[in-house]
């Protein structure tokens, strides 16, 4: 499915409201003057409200993307899109992309 390209300035949250940021931006492709992000690079999460064990299995610390663009790559790696999916560790919950740029789409 086509979707907007994900960039460093996008708002990405864990399911518990923690702010997720990419660990390795992709400077080879930029949108709105900001680098994009590729599939194999994890995100780090700060501010997750999921309680630690024994009350829960959180907080979310990192997230790994599992889906990305199928037709657009940079340096041989798929770019991330608005509909890309990620899993947070250690909770196993998804990341939510709430805001991203609206000028460049990919597939």
Q: Where are the alpha helices (DSSP H) in the chain?
A: none
Residue 101: CB atoms within 10 Å: 18
Q: Is 33 left (phi over 0), alpha (psi -120 to 50) or beta?
A: left
Q: How many residues does the chain have?
A: 107
In three-state secondary structure terms, 76 is coil
Structural contact between residues 65 and 84, judged by C-beta atoms closer than 8 angstroms = yes
Each residue's pLDDT tens digit in the chain (107 positions)?
A: 689 999 999 999 999 999 999 999 999 999 999 999 999 999 999 999 999 988 888 899 999 999 999 999 999 999 999 999 999 999 999 999 999 999 999 99
pTM of the model: 0.93
């Amino acid at each position: 499915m086509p979707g907007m390209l994900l960039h460093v300035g996008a708002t990405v949250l864990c399911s518990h409201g923690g702010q997720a940021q990419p660990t390795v931006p992709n400077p080879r492709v930029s949108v709105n003057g900001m680098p994009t992000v590729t599939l194999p690079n994890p995100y780090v999460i700060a501010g997750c409200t999921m309680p630690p064990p024994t009350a829960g299995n959180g907080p979310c610390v990192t997230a790994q993307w599992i889906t990305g663009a199928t037709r657009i790559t940079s340096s041989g790696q798929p770019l991330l899109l608005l509909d890309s999916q990620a899993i947070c560790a250690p909770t196993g919950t998804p990341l939510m992309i709430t805001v991203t740029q609206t000028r460049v789409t990919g597939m």
